[in-house]
Amino acid sequence: MMIKIERDKHDKQIYINFTENFFMHFINEWSQLKGKWNWFSFTLIQIYFENEVMTGGYEFMFIILGLGFRIRYNYSNEWHKKYDKEIEEALKENKEKK
């Protein structure tokens, strides 16, 4: 089992990747309060489960008083592979136009 801890470069949230198909994401909504956005959202209590059929994954989220986690398991990688390929092609086309 490969465990990899990463901080997202865009939202600065922490992700723990257990395998290629299984990860956990920590949620801290308190950090929005010191941001310079024109809005913020805050979750008092949320318990959420989804079987995302289109992308082939199960997702569970638990938040209480703005702190929580999201766990995702992808049981199918077909959609992700197709999406990654489309992104690569779009980036290549964009690079060729410049």
Q: Considering only the C-alpha atoms of the chain, give the largest distance between any 2 of them, rounded to a whole number of Å.
A: 48
Q: Block means of pLDDT (10 residues each) for the chain, length 98 residues?
A: 77 80 89 76 94 90 95 83 81 80
Decide: 30 and 66 in contact? Cβ < 8 Å.
yes
- CA of 60: how far to CAs of 13, 50, 57, 72, in Å? 17, 7, 10, 7
The pLDDT of residue 98 is 67
User: Residue 92 has what pLDDT?
Assistant: 85
Pair 25, 70: CB distance under 8 Å = yes
State pLDDT tens for residues 63-83.
999 999 999 999 887 776 777
Contact call for residues 80 and 60 (beta carbons, < 8 A): no
